[in-house]
A and B are shown apart, each in its own frame.
Chain A
Amino acid sequence: DTAVSQTPKYLVTQMGNDKSIKCEQNLGHDTMYWYKQDSKKFLKIMFSYNNKELIINETVPNRFSPKSPDKAHLNLHINSLELGDSAVYFCASSETGYEQYFGPGTRLTVT
């Protein structure tokens, strides 16, 4: 009965590769988010979608492209991976303005 799920949980890849992370929520929320948490635990918002529409796009390199095929899914595609992209990526969802429910995270390691 997972509320917010992400796949994969771990991702190890080489520099220059392209990878995707998938997120799904079954809470019926209208807003979904991607966060990046670095090695110092700093949790930073990257993107937010409301009913499939992009509403927050932080200063994130163009290599990162979110896609929301429907209200329950938000995927993150990363092109030309760099060492600095290594982090834990969290997907989250909420009713707009209320508490956010986070997925389990995807630990990305770029070698």
Chain B
Amino acid sequence: EIVLTQSPATLSLSPGDRATLSCRASQNIDSDLGWYQQKPGQAPRLLIHDASNRASGIPARFSGSGSGTDFTLSISSLEPEDFAVYYCQQRHNWPPWTFGQGTKVEMK
């Protein structure tokens, strides 16, 4: 099973700041990584698939990069609605498909 490790666990930032979230895979997963955003009481929402492709309707301030074992989700300038928990997920080796434990982006 592929383990995804996200860091940091919590990121304390202000609106307008740049956010950089990390996801590291326990083995090579090529570019088979996605990112999801989850707000309290809501289901996750797909932001990025295949490491760097924005999903439909996702603002350009969200970008993904990386391949192999190290991946990054960047938010160029945080909007108030971006404060949430972010999860990475791999679809390279199964079963099972696995998720990271999440990074919470909170308002400083």
Verify that A and B bind, or say they do not: no
A residues with a Cβ closer than 8 A to B are: none
